[in-house]
């Protein structure tokens, strides 16, 4: 019986000592060259995650990799093992030694890891605060994890589902995602402030630079229906058209075609202005609808005087940066309510996570108490000769009641600690104590000397308990 109880106590101590751990690097900690090397694309994610999962300490693993961050979310037997495995994985991708790469990494475990993922999903940790793409990328990482055998279990499943829900809630309940936060989205916002809906509008891109094409893609996603691409050579324009659609035209045809265009994006590498009042004025003279000119080239492609022509709205790269700046300012003001939402959700998740280990822990606590009770009872009954059966039963019942009453506040405290992210150390210490007590041969029999010698230890336990309560309050 006592052996079985000791085993229970050991199990209770050991049961689900696992934790959630995160190891990663991002734009906050690592330069772009390193981020590029560590980036895990969808083709290599299977091998990378499989490599991590080979460690027996890792129960579950999801790799989140974007151009700004690569992070390994792990559910593992313990934080130290998880971190060691993940650091090795990152180091292998970076082609560096674990010691070298560690300078660029951050580690979070337990509640801090949960909070980090929720902040990431909400866009609070992004380079452009509030950007929406990260939420989709978190979802993609989770989906990819699901497609790998045994990679996602109940903990990471719930963690990532909650993260996506938090991201959605933050976007719907705060203004964090509003406004234009990148140059292409600022271009769309400016055009939309002139035309309202961009559905069915026409656009022309002059010069097939990367930023011009990205801006055009952004405009296309808003419903632009007619696209013209003009470049220094017709072949170059055709190449761009092959990527994004539309029609390629030569530079000579631009001035004739521009009378039917609503939005002009210029991104050539010309040293002198390509669009001048002399050329544009006659082409747009009697056109009733406005023309938005987005000059995102450096040096500028559009002569500043063009902005003075009737019906023409001219914006250069500095103006677009101003729009982005105004958005960032507004988003910073919205960050506080978003942080509150994220923290609430992280605490809720954490309550669920810790509640999973409360059962085994309380069973372990009770088993330990019961083992001590039985040992003490056996010793007492051996010393008291001549007791009747009913007296023995009464003593046995009294010790059981005593144990129940003594354990009740501890049980309540364990339940409360499980719900409190600040009390994580309390549960870990309790688990360690139980493990130690169950493995110690003296644990089953407590002598008076034990009680006396445990004075300072009890004192420190009290102090810890007080600290925990303080942290909780």
Partner 1 sequence: MILGLHLLALVLYAAAWVLQLRGFRGGREPGLSGVTVVGVGLAVHAAGLLLYALSYRSLPLVGLGPASSSLALFISLFVLAASVRTDLRAAGLFLLPLVLLLVGEAVIVGIEPTGRQIAFRGPWFVLHVSAIFIGYAGLAAASAAAIMYVFQFRALKRKQFGSVFGFFPALESLDRLNKVGLAVGFPALSVGLLAGWSWTLTFGRGLALDNPGTILGIVTWTAYLVAIAARSRPGPRGERAAVISAVAFLVTFVAFLALRITAREAGFFL
| Least distance CB 175 / partner 1 (angstroms) | 7
What is the full DSSP assignment across 323-344? HHHHHHHHHHHHHHHHHHHHHH
Exposure class string for 260-279: b at 16+ Cβ within 10 A, else e: ebbbbbbbbeeeebbbebeb
Helix axes 111-122, 133-146, angle to 10 degrees: 130
**CA 358 to CA 416: how far, in whole Å?**
10
Please, which of residues 270-289 interact with partner 1 by CB under 8 A?
Answer: 285-289
* Half-sphere exposure in the Cβ direction for 333 (13 Å, CA): 8
* CA 354 from centre of chain: 19
- Does residue 195 touch partner 1 according to CB under 8 A? yes
**CA 265 to CA 243: how far, in whole Å?**
17
**Nearer to partner 1 (CB atom), residue 250 or residue 289:** 289
| Least distance CB 44 / partner 1 (angstroms) | 42
Please, which of residues 140-179 interact with partner 1 by CB under 8 A?
Answer: 175, 178-179
Angle CA 79–53–147, to nearest 5: 120
- Does residue 259 touch partner 1 according to CB under 8 A? no
**CA 180 to CA 167: how far, in whole Å?**
18
Judged by CB under 8 A, the residue of 190, 224, 261, 413 near partner 1 is 190
Please, which of residues 34-53 interact with partner 1 by CB under 8 A?
Answer: none
**Nearer to partner 1 (CB atom), residue 234 or residue 287:** 287
- Does residue 332 touch partner 1 according to CB under 8 A? no
**Nearer to partner 1 (CB atom), residue 143 or residue 318:** 318
Q: Which one of 4, 7, 32, 67 is the catalytic residue?
A: 67
User: Does residue 106 sit in helix, strand or coil?
Assistant: strand
Judged by CB under 8 A, the residue of 80, 127, 148, 192 near partner 1 is 192
Q: How many chain residues bind partner 1 (CB under 8 A)?
A: 25
CB 328 within 8 A of CB 181: yes
Report residue 287 as tokens.
Answer: 């056109």
CB 151 within 8 A of CB 53: yes
**CA 290 to CA 313: how far, in whole Å?**
7
**Nearer to partner 1 (CB atom), residue 190 or residue 361:** 190
- Does residue 323 touch partner 1 according to CB under 8 A? yes
Q: Name the pairing type of β-strands 19-26 and 106-109.
A: antiparallel
**CA 293 to CA 269: how far, in whole Å?**
17
Judged by CB under 8 A, the residue of 51, 139, 281, 290 near partner 1 is 290
- Does residue 322 touch partner 1 according to CB under 8 A? yes
The stretch near partner 1 (CB under 8 A) out of 6-14, 156-164, 233-241, 320-328 is: 320-328
**Nearer to partner 1 (CB atom), residue 186 or residue 342:** 186
**Nearer to partner 1 (CB atom), residue 56 or residue 196:** 196
Report residue 230 as tokens.
Answer: 């003009």
* CA 323 from centre of chain: 27
**Nearer to partner 1 (CB atom), residue 189 or residue 431:** 189
| Least distance CB 327 / partner 1 (angstroms) | 9
The stretch near partner 1 (CB under 8 A) out of 78-86, 90-98, 129-137, 187-195 is: 187-195
**CA 183 to CA 186: how far, in whole Å?**
5
- Does residue 234 touch partner 1 according to CB under 8 A? no
Whether 67 is catalytic is yes
Write out the catalytic residue numbers.
Answer: 67
Site residues, partner 1 (CB under 8 A): 175, 178-179, 190, 192-196, 285-290, 307, 310-311, 313, 315, 319, 322-323, 326, 330
């Amino acid at each position: 019986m006592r052996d079985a109880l000791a085993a229970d106590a050991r199990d209770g101590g050991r049961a689900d000592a696992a934790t959630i751990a995160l190891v990663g690097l991002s734009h906050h900690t690592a330069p772009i060259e390193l981020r590029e090397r560590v980036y895990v694309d969808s083709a290599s994610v299977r091998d990378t995650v499989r490599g991590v999962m080979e460690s027996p300490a890792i129960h579950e693993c999801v790799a989140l990799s974007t151009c700004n961050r690569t992070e390994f979310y792990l559910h593992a037997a313990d934080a130290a093992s998880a971190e060691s495995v993940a650091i090795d994985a990152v180091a292998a991708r970076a082609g560096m030694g674990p010691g070298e790469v560690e300078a660029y990494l951050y580690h979070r475990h337990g509640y801090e890891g949960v909070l980090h993922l929720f902040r990431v999903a909400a866009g609070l940790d992004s380079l452009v605060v509030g950007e929406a793409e990260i939420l989709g990328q978190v979802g993609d990482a989770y989906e990819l994890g699901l497609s790998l055998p045994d990679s996602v279990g109940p903990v990471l499943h719930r963690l990532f589902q909650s993260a996506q829900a938090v991201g959605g809630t933050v976007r719907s309940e705060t203004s964090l995602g509003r406004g234009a936060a990148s140059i292409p989205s600022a271009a769309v916002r400016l055009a939309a402030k002139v035309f309202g809906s961009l559905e069915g509008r026409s656009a022309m891109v002059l010069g097939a630079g990367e930023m011009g094409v990205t801006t055009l893609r952004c405009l296309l996603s808003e419903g632009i229906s007619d696209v013209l691409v003009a470049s220094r050579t017709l072949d170059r324009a055709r190449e761009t058209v092959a990527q994004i659609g539309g029609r390629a035209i030569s530079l000579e045809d631009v001035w004739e075609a521009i009378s039917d265009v609503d939005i002009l994006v210029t991104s050539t590498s010309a040293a002198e202005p390509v669009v001048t009042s002399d050329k544009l004025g006659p082409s747009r003279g009697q056109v009733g609808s406005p023309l938005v000119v987005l000059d995102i080239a450096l040096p500028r492609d559009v002569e500043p005087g063009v902005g003075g022509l009737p019906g023409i709205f001219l914006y250069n790269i500095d103006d677009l940066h101003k729009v982005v700046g105004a958005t960032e300012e507004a988003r910073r003001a919205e960050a506080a309510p978003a942080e509150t939402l994220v923290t609430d959700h992280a605490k809720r998740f954490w309550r669920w996570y810790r509640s999973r280990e409360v059962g085994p822990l309380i069973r372990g606590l009770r088993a330990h108490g019961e083992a001590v009770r039985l040992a003490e009872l056996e010793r007492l009954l051996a010393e008291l000769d001549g007791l009747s059966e009913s007296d023995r039963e009464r003593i046995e019942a009294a010790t059981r009641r005593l144990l129940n009453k003594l354990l009740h506040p501890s049980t309540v405290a364990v339940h409360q600690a499980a719900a409190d992210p600040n009390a994580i150390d309390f549960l870990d210490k309790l688990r360690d104590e139980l493990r130690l007590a169950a493995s110690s041969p003296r644990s089953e029999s407590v002598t008076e000397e034990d009680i006396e010698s445990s004075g300072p230890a009890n004192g420190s336990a009290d102090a810890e308990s007080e600290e925990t309560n303080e942290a909780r309050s």
